[in-house]
Structure 1
Amino acid sequence: MPHSQGTFRQQLKKMYGWYTGGFVVFVALLAVGEQLGMSSQWIGYTFLFASIALYAAIGVMSRTADVAEYYVAGRRVPALFNGMATGADWMSAASFIGMAGTLYFSGYQGLAFVMGWTGGYCLVALFLAPYLRKFGEFTIPDFLGARYGGNLARMIGVVAAILASFTYVVAQIYGVGLITSRFVGLEFEVGVFVGLAGILVCSFLGGMRAVTWTQVAQYIILIIAYLLPVVILSTKVTGVPVPQAMYGQVLQKLSAKESELFASPKELEANALFKARAHDYEEKIRGLPASLDAERAKLTAKLDALKAANAPAKQIAAAEMALRNMPKTEADARRKWGEARRLAESKAKPPLPHTAAHAGRDEADASVKRLNFIALVIVLMVGTASLPHILMRYYTTPSVKEARDSVFWSLFFIFLLYVTAPAYAVFAKWEVYTNLVGSTISTLPGWVASWGKVGLVKIDDINADGILQLAELTLNTDVIVLATPEIAGLPYVISGLVAAGGLAAALSTADGLLLTIANAMSHDMYYKVIDPDASTQRRLVISKALLLVVALVAAYTASLKPDNILLMVGLAFSIAASAFFPALVCGVFWARANKAGAVAGMMAGLGMCIYYAATTHPFFGGDSANAWFGIEPISCGIFGIPLGFAVLIVVSLLTRAPDEDTRALVQYVRYPNLGESPRQLPRGGGVDHH
């Protein structure tokens, strides 16, 4: 190891050690402040703005006008710190906010996310990271352009990178909006753009250099924020502060509680009433369009009667709101009433036990669930090994060996969160089932109303008994982690800490994704295709301008609240897996793969993925009845991946073999000690002399 690199590592360890200690002291001081009477609103403000100010300071200090620093952090990020940065880049709002919530609701089925996302790093280490680092250059489309020749493969790579990254970044900014709107009291739409400022100040000034050192800082915050509440909760419930080891005991008690709760007369009564409601919505849908006119006339008559009787203003306002929220058209009614029917149907029967593996109404239903579980694991694994913003991180290490080592550290730092997520879900569910369900609705804790204002918690006393049954409680998956400290009655400073952790997770991933999109457009599209003679300064100016434009478009899209975070992220994985994985793996391991095959394979895989999502997901106007073999839209990549491989292989075999230069590039990338002459790197491949 060169002396300068060793000194650099020691300086980094010392600096981030002081930073970690300072953050712990900061949280402790806020805890003391809460005991002395500091308001929860000020605690939320302090966490939010102190976090953003810290990231902004790192971004400003890391500003650069050097191309290598801007795109790949100067290729000098040590494996340990690249692993932390990758962990932060990876553990998005989906992992931090959505993972435990999905496990809460899905139980065993939710483990597909843990298995898929963790297993994906094995594919990264075995098939891609060291080879892409050996290749050098800056982006994934760079590799596609050099390996397959010409600009067509590169441009398809650019389109796929933008599609996958944009879908993913919208989910992150949506998560930022949730956090700021709840913990600071901002309107959701305003919170989205406040968070956007924190994202831009890092990536805009210093590119990958600023993003990398900010992500290391963000990882430290997010892992402390994730672990501390569940450690406190484990100590409270079991007396042992090791939730990963103790949640099995709580799971046994939870199973007994589920049996008791699901069979209670009040719960069965609520289930029956929701079943009747689902039937009513089904009848309304069948009766369209006449049923829409009848429903509007009914509500109008009710409002007129209330006004005539001089009813209380609250009742009149509620009737006016109901009339305003009525569907405007037949298509709108079909969509809204269809969603309401599906929600009622889901509450017409008790949820599946937490430990039930692929349980269904019958054997056919269980088989579909098993198939979806396997499909999701495969898509998430392959998608992990295909996401451009993750693969770009391995361009930043000093050598091929460090690229391999950083995959190990990435997996270790991600493991710390993922091994805790199942415990989080079990402890949170235990608290809800024992301390919330069965409570008097008029005396529910304040967090129910607080999260209700954001739209993530709903109470529907369908049997009007004033007691909360499980079926009457609707929790969004994204609320579980953020609300757990309040659910468990922990000090508010812990809630603020969790919010800061969620913010760190969302911002760190959003930074990497926005940089990926901007780099794809400025480096791969503008510099490599449109203006190869562009100066360094012009390239960076264009990259920053595009970064700003994409960020604003993503923030606007997120402000529309498109869907839950985990689904959006899952679609991003399917897009990346379908478009990139066959071309990247064949590009490294099969010298016969050629330009025609890669282009056809990428287009076929991406097209299949988008077609399936569009025809099966209601958000895109599709219908779940169109699903093949019952596969859910989140796993649409399961059809795109094999089609991409098949088309790439068949077209490559039917067309002319690659030239000698391309085969030399494959050899160079595959074998670490093979000659490193620039002559062996045609059409833009970079040379790694480390």
Structure 2
Amino acid sequence: MDLTTLTYIVVGFTFALYIGIAIWARAGTTGEYYVAGKGVNPVANGMATAADWMSAASFISMAGLIAFMGYDASVYLLGWTGGYVLLAMLLAPYLRKFGKFTVPEFIGDRFYSKTARVIAVVCLIVASLTYVIGQMKGIGVAFSRFLETDYTTGLFIGMAIVFFYAVLGGMKGITYTQIAQYVVLIFAYTVPAIFISLQLTGNPLPQLGLGSTLEAGGGGYLLQTLDRILVDLGFTQYTTMEEGNGFNMMMLTMSLMIGTAGLPHVIVRFFTVPRVRDARKSAGWALVFIAILYTTAPAVGAMSYFNLINTVKPGEVGAEASNLLYEERPDWFKNWEQTGLLAWEDKNGDGRIQYYNDGNEQFAQTATEQYGWQGNELTVDRDIMVMANPEIANLPNWVIALVVAGGLAAALSTAAGLLMAISSAVSHDLIKGIFNPGISEKGELLSARLAMAGAVLFAGYLGLNPPGFAAQVVALAFGLAASSLFPVLMLGIFNKRMNSAGAMTGMLVGLTSTLVYIFTYKGWLFIPGTNMLPNTAEYWFLGIQPESFGALGALLNVTAAYLVSKVTAPPPEHIQHLVEDVRVPRSAKEAPAH
């Protein structure tokens, strides 16, 4: 069976499964729509949380970043997993004990202010919409290659699928759909990794294969061989950190960690379990399920890059025969060229593919003088590495089709969670909480579904012009969550003296400073040419890239909140008692949630 037909069958089956689950688990009440009736088993919730969390950035883009950045990309592994520890220990159980439907509702009640609730809604929407752009990019990448559509058409198909099962089922439908999506995506990620690890090293475990010797080519260690090849091509060693990048890496790690703990669509997952202790259990199970993919990603990144380089550049640098003739390029190369995500430009007119680091001036000069090379000729979108990896390794068509289904499952599951958070914020926090408190349950459900429809359309519009690789776009969202929501949640739980004036000031300072910084280097709404300064290290403040600024934004948030709270009236007495009640167990036997 040809690849296209097989892919349609596999992807069609998974889509039918998601829609069927949504129909079976459709929400009939606001409690089911917002928090799945608070009746989800912690193991199931951990699996759903993992799927919600492991987005297109994790499935499609992270291994691509690891492939091209090497050691420097370990920041994403550390930041995204470390954030779950913060979430499990510092936020999830306390927020579940508070017992509200949404993050803005907690902020509004804790800080006794409708204005604070509205500001929290704005922060949530800004962070969530930025995050969902990365998912739309992943959907477009998967569809554009394997279902033979253009990027835009693929994006619209993905939007329609998410719209159907998210609008119909709400959180209840999304939860059980995400469990199915986790199973699909984890098989899709690990099966080709096992194949390729066996192919290259003879070891069936990719985690061990990464540190094993190669079956061919002299039998050297995989990472040592990759280091040598990259140095020969003018790049930094794969296993070493780029010089002078330490501080920025630390800031990005912090931003990703606290951003993880502050993401509304992840936090709300812990509102769906029956009891407070189940929130901790859910976080633990989520880490277990996430670890399966995250420990596999470094192997996928290294092996896919090794295969790519050996396809276009199998011999020694400088030998004419070592550079692949463009006319002899393999089929997978031709297929990905059609998507526009892989491109070749014959700069020196020799008909061969030169791939090297022309940013290394000394190496580039030598390459020009000795071999007549006029610059790197191969452009590879990093987001294709996981999707193209099975084709590069000549794996069976069913494996390739499985990877497509997995990539779509990862993107759709997170997109649904994000859109659910946006929908809940609009319907429950704005319409019911602020503008129309007397709205009926039926009216609130309708408004939630209309809000979901609007969020899907707007997210699709932004997804048509993504500002970078999926993981980079997601990192911006983490920075926004880190600088706006995480500090106010932490202060709301652990500082009973923090008042509404301090919380509102902190959120506004954190969000505004981070948005301005992103605008300065990325442009307004990511429109090309609207940035005020070039997005390069020499122009960054203290060498902090836009994706890393969330950590500094969080510090500004906390500082502003603390200073304002010190010069304004303390919270009412009953609020201070409420904070203590949420944080301190009442007795050895767990008290019921509020």
1:415 aligned residue: 291
| 1:352 match: secondary structure | coil
Per-residue CA deviations over 1:507-551 (Å, capped at 9, x if unaligned) read 000000001001100100000000111000000000101111110
Check the 8 A contact 1:582/1:648 in 2, yes or no.
no
Question: Counterpart of 1:377 in structure 2: which amino acid?
Answer: T
2:330 aligned residue: 445
Q: CA RMSD in A?
A: 1.8
1:558 aligned residue: 463
Question: Counterpart of 1:73 in structure 2: which amino acid?
Answer: A
Check the 8 A contact 2:210/2:223 in 1, yes or no.
no
Aligned-partner Cα distance in 2 for 1:256–1:397: 48
Q: How far does residue 561 in structure 1 lie from its aligned partner after superposition?
A: 4.1
Check the 8 A contact 2:134/2:466 in 1, yes or no.
no
2:369 counterpart of 1:400: no
2:532 counterpart of 1:622: yes
| 1:532 match: secondary structure | coil
Check the 8 A contact 1:161/1:576 in 2, yes or no.
yes
Question: Counterpart of 2:328 in structure 1: which amino acid?
Answer: T
More helix by share: 1
2:261 counterpart of 1:376: no
1:152 aligned residue: 115
1:272 aligned residue: none
Per-residue CA deviations over 1:136-159 (Å, capped at 9, x if unaligned) read 110000110010012011001000
| 1:248 match: secondary structure | coil
Check the 8 A contact 1:141/1:157 in 2, yes or no.
yes
Distance 1:249 1:197, change over 3 A: same
Aligned-partner Cα distance in 2 for 1:197–1:562: 23
> Structure 2 matches for 1:55-66, cutoff 5 A?
55-66=18-29
2:419 aligned residue: 514
Per-residue CA deviations over 1:431-460 (Å, capped at 9, x if unaligned) read 122233232211111221221222211112
2:160 aligned residue: 197
- Find the partner of 1:358 among 237, 242, 248: 242
Distance 1:466 1:255, change over 3 A: farther
Question: Counterpart of 1:633 in structure 2: which amino acid?
Answer: P
- Find the partner of 2:395 among 476, 481, 490: 490
Aligned-partner Cα distance in 2 for 1:598–1:261: 49
- Find the partner of 1:657 among 566, 570, 592: 570
- TM-score (normalizing by structure 2): 0.90
Out of 243-252 and 630-639, give the one that drifted further. Answer: 243-252
Question: Counterpart of 2:5 in structure 1: which amino acid?
Answer: W
- TM-score (normalizing by structure 1): 0.78
Distance 1:673 1:180, change over 3 A: same
Q: How far does residue 470 in structure 1 lie from its aligned partner after superposition?
A: 1.9
Aligned-partner Cα distance in 2 for 1:65–1:97: 35
Aligned-partner Cα distance in 2 for 1:355–1:262: 11
1:466 aligned residue: 351
1:386 aligned residue: 262
1:242 aligned residue: 205
Per-residue CA deviations over 1:457-487 (Å, capped at 9, x if unaligned) read 1112323323322232221110110000001
Aligned-partner Cα distance in 2 for 1:541–1:81: 28
Distance 1:210 1:240, change over 3 A: same
Check the 8 A contact 2:81/2:287 in 1, yes or no.
yes
Check the 8 A contact 2:211/2:223 in 1, yes or no.
no
Q: Which has the larger radius of gyration?
A: 1
> Structure 2 matches for 1:5-154, cutoff 5 A?
38-154=1-117
Per-residue CA deviations over 1:241-295 (Å, capped at 9, x if unaligned) read 01101211359344335435644xxx6xxxxxxxxxxxxxxxxxxxxxxxxxxxx
Question: Counterpart of 2:225 in structure 1: which amino acid?
Answer: A
2:372 aligned residue: none
Check the 8 A contact 1:134/1:672 in 2, yes or no.
no
> Structure 2 matches for 1:584-623, cutoff 5 A?
584-617=489-522, 619=526, 620-623=530-533
| 1:474 match: secondary structure | strand
Aligned-partner Cα distance in 2 for 1:179–1:434: 24
| 1:458 match: secondary structure | strand
Q: How far does residue 556 in structure 1 lie from its aligned partner after superposition?
A: 2.1
Structure 1: gaps of 5 or more residues = 1-37, 268-349, 360-365, 679-686
Out of 664-673 and 566-575, give the one that drifted further. Answer: 664-673
The percent of aligned pairs where both chains have the same amino acid is 41
Aligned-partner Cα distance in 1 for 2:424–2:117: 13
Check the 8 A contact 2:226/2:238 in 1, yes or no.
no
Aligned-partner Cα distance in 1 for 2:469–2:311: 26
Question: Counterpart of 1:441 in structure 2: which amino acid?
Answer: Y
Aligned-partner Cα distance in 2 for 1:556–1:109: 32
Check the 8 A contact 1:161/1:517 in 2, yes or no.
yes
2:444 aligned residue: 539
Aligned-partner Cα distance in 2 for 1:352–1:394: 42
Aligned-partner Cα distance in 2 for 1:641–1:97: 28
Q: How far does residue 198 in structure 1 lie from its aligned partner after superposition?
A: 1.2
Structure 2: gaps of 5 or more residues = 214-219, 314-322, 357-376
Per-residue CA deviations over 1:215-255 (Å, capped at 9, x if unaligned) read 00000000000000010001111112011012113593443
Aligned-partner Cα distance in 1 for 2:152–2:226: 40
Aligned-partner Cα distance in 1 for 2:2–2:588: 65
Distance 1:561 1:373, change over 3 A: closer
1:7 aligned residue: none
Question: Counterpart of 2:17 in structure 1: which amino acid?
Answer: L
2:129 counterpart of 1:166: yes
